[in-house]
A and B are shown apart, each in its own frame.
Chain A
Amino acid sequence: MSQERSGADILVDSLTRLGVEVVFGYPGGAVLPIYDALFEHSAIKHVLVRHEAGAAHAAEGYARSTGKPGVVLVTSGPGATNAVTGIADALMDSIPLVVITGQVPTSVIGSDAFQEADTVGITRHCCKHNYLVKDPADLAAVIDEAFQIATTGRPGPVVVDIPKNVQIATAPWSEAAPQRRNRYAPRTSGSADEITRAVELMAAAKQPVLYTGGGVINSGPKASDLLRRLQALTGAPLTSTLMGLGAFPADHPDWLGMLGMHGTYEANMAMNKADLIVCVGARFDDRVTGRLDAFAPDATKIHIDIDRSSINKTVPVDLPIVGDCAVILEQLITEWSARKPQELAEWKARIDGWRARKSLSYPRSAKAIAPQLAVERLFALTRELDPIITTEVGQHQMWAAQHFGFYAPNRWLTSGGLGTMGYGLPAAIGAQMGNPDKLVIDIAGDASIQMNIQEMGTATQYRLPVKVFTLNNEFMGMVRQWQELTYESRYSNSYSDSLPDFVKLAEAYGWKGIRIENEDQLDAGIKAMIEHQGPVFVDCLVAKEDNCFPMIPSGAAHTEMLLYGDTVEGTMDDEAKALV
């Protein structure tokens, strides 16, 4: 049966039909009809953020922790432009988002109307796809396709810009799902040939490494199970990118830790000396490879990726397989069948030699809490609770990646590709919305947390018991570290001056505030944080000038890591300085 409905009603009904439970948004003039349609709508819960950047990151946190697409609703002009960072972040980290933006009426588009911005133009290159809907009759099919594009293939953000008059005008609505154009059909499985060759290479390898990434997480929990099964069959040691943490258990004897710029010595050395690298859902990012001409020089490389454009983008590979990680891992396991891997004892003994360097050990001092220790204690005291961890961006993020152990996918939410400071708190709010009974902790830094600190109000309003654990060193620590290593410790504008009293700030928002000033207070402070039912802000004062090691400096190879205790020159040549 078909009836006439307004564009706003068609939108809300389409979202309901697609199973959307939560929308993160902020109202404004150009979305008032949609907000009116949402008013007293029982199936969709709206979370009112304090800034549109918070809405986009919250939706990302929701998506990463639940595997479901995150939905954002913001107004035209500044509403849309404020959400752009989150959209770009979701594109870089392949997070499924559907971002609905209000737009000025079609009759005034292009006239520099109040709160007009060319949202489709601005977001064109930072989203997977976008639409300007000019007729409410198109809306149901567009929303349907937007969700399909956001969630299938390599996931990503899709923007749907809806002018205000299109929200008010009516069109026929039918309960039946709209006829969707069948134009987006990414390849998901590998050819029999590719699978056979991959298994032959894996069975013949004497020094194999599995190098896995966020693609395994995005492919769903099944992919993590399959990865563990393939690893058990092949016995290959496994390392992961920042985005892939949790796909493989951190206490497994073949776990090498994270690789790359702040990865472990054993992971990077194993990559360098491997004879076979099987890349599963990772993209040879510059933070992972170090200097390209010295990256895994003797390895045959297999690259499994759902995005064909990731293949050979930075590192040429010998065997690309385009498809979904879970599907291809299953194909590989079936093809492997009852094969036996090569004797890997010698390879693992070499790895143990590198492991013995204990690259994650760090200096302790009686004067101040080592930030690494704070993360270790946080991990030890929350491990049994299987928490979800979000982070901001900087030293604290790397220390969290290094010293917090992950055992399951969708527990580690961090801004990897874009490196967005201010990501962690709204992401924690989104994750808590999607996982009301879980312990959700934002491991933060004193500089990053201030980039979206207004979202504390959102947590208060919706009674979300998120915890913010801030490693406060009164610096933009990673910037300071690079200035120490590259610019002879000239700390240009990297000092956090005029910090607020975070405990008082927490209390002002109705949160509990806890300050930890020395090692003796560390465990008690963390326990008090866990035990408190509501949101908690922990201001953990840590050593001010600790560096995050190990580190591959800019332009260096995997074998040229800086470890704690190495002497650092404090300068770099121009070639290295010019790298990001």
Chain B
Amino acid sequence: MKITKEAEERHVLTVIVDNEAGILAKIAGLFTARGYNIDSLTVADITENHAVSRITIVTHGPPAQIDQIHAQLERLVPVHKVIDLTEFGPHVERELALVKVTGTGDARVEALRLADIFRAKPVDTTTSSFIFELTGAPDKIDTFIGLMRELGLVEVGRTGVVGMARGTQGV
């Protein structure tokens, strides 16, 4: 007997939740308990009184499973709203990365030149290293990190994606 796999899609979900103890564990645990994937997850409170948090989850799976994830999230009591940005259509995805590169001579100059092209900002520097700060869509960050790998990449930190639908409407 062999295990078979179905074709999968990547989706970005925005989840608006009550900012109460255990909500993150509840959501992360729902994903593990039901065998769903988390590619990235970000969370921060977004209201003045700290009562509501916005969670952005990037997941992948077969379409039927994505629909289930949406429904399973919605039935949690502290969840106010779930928006599948991928399903919704035009939306913005942004992620912040810190990238540490060491090197001297040509490699160092080239790293700085590429950073300029990517609008990555050096936020720390020594004579033989930089930390670049870069925001953008995930694939832009992937590309930048790929280039830096050839030029002395030593460390990467990424926030994971936050997303928002384009246009005048708010969630």
Contacts and interface: CB of A to CB of B under 8 A. Distances in A.
B is bound to A: yes
Interface of A: 120-121, 124-125, 128-130, 132, 149, 154, 183-184, 307-309, 311-313, 316, 574-575, 578
Given A129-B77, A578-B1, A124 B29 contact: yes
Nearest to B80: A183
Contacts of A130: 22
A308 B77 contact: no
A307 B22 contact: no
B72 A309 contact: yes
Contact of A132 (B21, B33, B64, B71): B21
A149 B78 CA distance: 11
B1 A309 contact: no
Contacts of B71: 308-309, 311, 313
A328 to B, nearest CB: 18
Nearest to B79: A183
Contacts of A149: 77
A578 B30 CA distance: 24
A125 B22 CA distance: 12
Contacts of B22: 120-121, 124, 130, 132
B64 to A, nearest CB: 6
B18 interface: yes
Given A124-B29, A149-B77, 11 more contacts: A121-B25, A124-B22, A125-B29, A125-B33, A128-B77, A129-B78, A132-B22, A183-B80, A308-B74, A308-B75, A309-B68
Q: Report whether over half of chain A's contact residues are helix, strand or loop; otherwise say mixed.
A: loop
19 contacts: A121-B25, A124-B22, A124-B26, A125-B26, A125-B29, A125-B33, A129-B76, A129-B77, A130-B22, A132-B22, A183-B77, A308-B74, A309-B71, A309-B72, A309-B74, A313-B68, A313-B71, A575-B1, A578-B1
A154 B75 CA distance: 10
Contacts of A183: 18, 77-78, 80
Considering the complex of A and B, which 3 residue pairs feature the smallest CB-CB distances, nearest first? A309-B71, A574-B1, A129-B77
A307 B75 CA distance: 8
Contact of A184 (B25, B68, B72, B77): B77
Interface string B8-29: 0000000000100110011001
Given A183-B80, A575-B1, A312 B26 contact: no
Contacts of B18: 183
B75 A125 contact: no
A308 B72 CA distance: 8
Interface string B22-50: 10011001100100000000000000000
B67 interface: yes
A128 B26 CA distance: 11
Contacts of A121: 22, 25
Contacts of A154: 75
Nearest to A181: B18
Contacts of A120: 22
A125 B74 contact: no
Interface centre among A129, A130, A309, A316 (most CB of B within 10 A): A309
A580 B157 CA distance: 43
B1 A312 contact: no
Contacts of B74: 308-309
Contact of A124 (B1, B25, B64): B25
B72 A316 contact: no
A415 B21 CA distance: 32
Interface in B76-90: 76-78, 80
Given A120-B22, A124-B29, A316 B64 contact: yes
Contacts of B33: 125
